[in-house]
Amino acid sequence: MKIKSTNTKPAAMKSRARTVALAKAVAGPKAKPKRTIDAVDLWLHEREALAAGHTMIAGVDEAGRGPLAGPVVAACVVLPAGFDIAGINDSKQLTEINREKAYERITREAIAVGVGVVHHEVIDRINILKATHLAMRYAILDLEPSVSISIVLVDGLPVPGLPCAAVKSIVKGDALSVSIAAASIVAKVTRDRLMTLMDRRYPVYGFAQHKGYSAPSHFEALRQFGPCPIHRRSFSPISQMCHPTLWNDGI
């Protein structure tokens, strides 16, 4: 006995339904879109500056505000129009290998690159915020005299005293502006290389690995050997170690 079908959908509709079901099965569960650097218009702030009449635009960023040892380093980068943004991102989001590759391309293709370094003695004397601003100033002044920038795009909050007629501060600018991202890479790679050199001078601290940041191995070395000459005396726990009466068992 034949059983009468109760499905009255036309064949074309059933075929389409099967196609949609198969596509969903291949695609898997629908995921929320992730915000990536590729989804950000990294030239937006540069285009806005061009529209405002600026023709030489620089990005400025720093590396090394948080470590317990070594300098703070800033970089100033002027990129040419049409610079390929592939591989350019906030330096903290890149692997060491990719940072090095990006650094080589930036320094090779940029119109101008300047670097400013402020060492630990100055950081201890004037505080890390002022030292960071000073490094940024040095980075701009390090540009070739023939490079006359008309606006600086700087990562973070407003920075007073920069030697440029126009300054635009952009919070999280290293992920929003290609010029600032490039500066963050140059600053980070430059500082990492300096700390690797310091590792040869003071090998027991492991500076080549942690670059002076608060790694467990760094704390352990401090427990065993105390601070070395490039440690920041104004930073805790170095400040307590330099005053034994304030130093406890825990760091």
Q: pLDDT band at 153, cuts 50/70/90?
A: very high
Rounded to 5 degrees, what angle do the CA atoms 152, 160, 178 make?
25
**Do you know the residue count of the chain?**
251
Which long-range contacts does 33-37 make (Cβ < 8 Å, 24+ apart)? 37/88, 37/89, 37/90, 37/93, 37/175
Average pLDDT, the chain: 86
Q: How much is the pTM?
A: 0.81
Which SS3 state, helix, strand or coil, does residue 194 take? helix
pLDDT tens profile 98-125: 999 999 999 999 999 999 999 999 999 9
- CA separation for the pair 210, 191 (Å, rounded): 12
Q: What is the pLDDT of residue 38?
A: 54
User: What is the amino acid identity at position 32?
Assistant: K
Q: How many CA atoms lie within 13 A of 145 on its CB side?
A: 0
Domains with residue ranges and CATH for the chain: 37-198 (3.30.420.10), 202-246 (no CATH)
pLDDT tens profile 190-240: 999 999 999 999 999 999 999 999 999 999 999 999 999 999 999 999 998
